Amino acid sequence: MKRILITGGTGFIGANLCHRLIAEGHRVICLDNNYTGTLSNVSDLMEHPNFTFVEHDVIEPWDCEDPLDRIYNLACPASPPFYQGARSIFTTKTCVLGAINMLELAKRKGARILQTSTSEVYGDPIVHPQHEGYRGNVNPIGIRACYDEGKRCAESLFFDYNRHEGVDIRVIRIFNTYGPYMNPEDGRVVSNFICQALRGEDITIYGEGQQTRSFQYIDDLIEGMVRMMENEQGFIGPVNIGNPGEFTIRQLAELVLAKIPTGGKLVFRPLPADDPTQRRPDIALAAEKLNWAPTIVLNEGLDKTIAYFRKAIGLED
Ligand code: UDP
pLDDT in tens, 91-149: 999 999 999 999 999 999 999 999 999 999 999 999 999 999 999 999 999 999 999 99
> According to the model, what pLDDT value does residue 181 have?
98
How far is 78 from 75, CA to CA, in rounded Å?
9
How far is 151 from 160, CA to CA, in rounded Å?
14
> According to the model, what pLDDT value does residue 314 have?
84
Nearest CA to ligand 1 atom 19: 188
Cα-to-centroid distance, 43 and ligand 1 (Å): 29
35, 83, 122, 147: the catalytic one is 147
* Residue to substitute in 13, 120, 148, 189 for testing ligand 1 pocket (most ligand atoms within 8 angstroms of CB): 189
Rg of the chain taking only CA atoms, in angstroms:
19
Whether 83 sits among the annotated catalytic residues: the reply is no
Atom of ligand 1 nearest to the CA of 275: 15
Rounded to the nearest integer, the mean pLDDT of the chain is 97
Peptide bond into 129 cis (omega under 30): yes
> According to the model, what pLDDT value does residue 312 have?
93
* Residue to substitute in 119, 249, 252 for testing ligand 1 pocket (most ligand atoms within 8 angstroms of CB): 249
**Does this model's pTM top 0.85?**
yes
How far is 16 from 223, CA to CA, in rounded Å?
11
Is beta strand 246-248 parallel, antiparallel or unpaired with respect to 212-214?
antiparallel
Nearest CA to ligand 1 atom 3: 205
Is 278's C-beta closer than 6 angstroms to any atom of ligand 1? no
Average pLDDT over residues 151-160: 98
Is 154's C-beta closer than 6 angstroms to any atom of ligand 1? no
